[in-house]
Structure 1
């Protein structure tokens, strides 16, 4: 019952918001260039579905490439920080400082340094998404059971074996939590990167439609962006069920005991 409400409650809220929006537009007779009705957004989006699909696939390509780079960098940095405490002490302040850099300032520099290809867009997505993943992994490694690690060492296991058997499994729940945080920003980061230099993608599509005063098509692209982000977010739950089913069982048992 509770799980069903988690699904239906946001859908009902969204439906009510759309009905109110539709009624407000029809009553006030506001111009479509200012605020189109949801029905117009849906119809125009469907009419231009082929073009929007092409731009969506381009954005997904940038998202996948950039987020893949983000995951690679996050895992490498987190493992180095776990194995070498000096690296962790020197790295974490720099990672925090990197998040204070406005993406709106660094994105044009990426284009100047690396041109208009895929590479600068990948870097922007990675910059936006890798920090929560690094933090989740580092804290997950640190939360490993010290007694289990000590037992393995007493049995002659080396640091690498202790990492694989204890610290890595302990970090996976935190990793998937941070993965969900990062993936929600990945599509937005890709779209922002497209604003500063791209020939195709939802970012450039929205920019072109905005300049043409096609607010309905801008909102259609925004809706697609939201749907893609939600789909990617939900996919992390599916991946978590496949990779660490034992954690979900533990969480259910804890919830039942509470």
Structure 2
């Protein structure tokens, strides 16, 4: 929201946001483990780095893609900047926001697995690594199915929340 409401902040951070996606997470993950150790923090940072981009970009698109006629009408009616944001831009951003959250939900599982590959003692990423090095392809497939299950579960939770938050969305619209 701050990137939308403060244009100078958006102009400063938007290029950094784009640049953050040019460095592969598989390269950043070992650095985060070196800097922050093998604890919970580097894993959380990896998941945040993976998820922040789709949510932020989707939200910014939603904020800025309001119908121009409605924006013009609200300005003519004397609406304040806060009223325009709260009654037009924020509701307009909810559908794209949930699209970004759905993408981030599935990416978060991938981010967690990557972080476990690189610096954990337990977890599905460690299980996959050990199974792969032992040539236990059956266990690797089990891990893949578990990852798919959790990705679909998180995605479904976001869809359920979306249906409860965005009640004005037309049935059958995606």
- TM-score where L is the length of structure 2: 0.91
Structure of higher CA gyration radius: 1
Count of aligned pairs between the two proteins: 174
Q: State the match for 1:208 in structure 2.
A: 130
The 1-side partners of 2:149 and 2:41 are apart by 25
Matched, 1:190 2:105: no
Higher helix share: 1
- Please state how far the C-alpha of 1:89 moved relative to its aligned partner: 2.1
Q: State the match for 2:162 in structure 1.
A: 240
Q: State the match for 1:219 in structure 2.
A: 141
Matched, 1:176 2:63: no
Structure 1: gaps of 5 or more residues? 1-78, 253-258
Matched, 1:81 2:3: yes
Which secondary structure does the structure 1 equivalent of 2:38 belong to?
coil
C-alpha distance 250-155 of structure 1, shift in aligned 2 (>3 A): farther
Matched, 1:126 2:48: yes
The 2-side partners of 1:149 and 1:156 are apart by 11
- TM-score where L is the length of structure 1: 0.63
Match of 2:39 among 113, 117, 137: 117
Which secondary structure does the structure 1 equivalent of 2:92 belong to?
helix
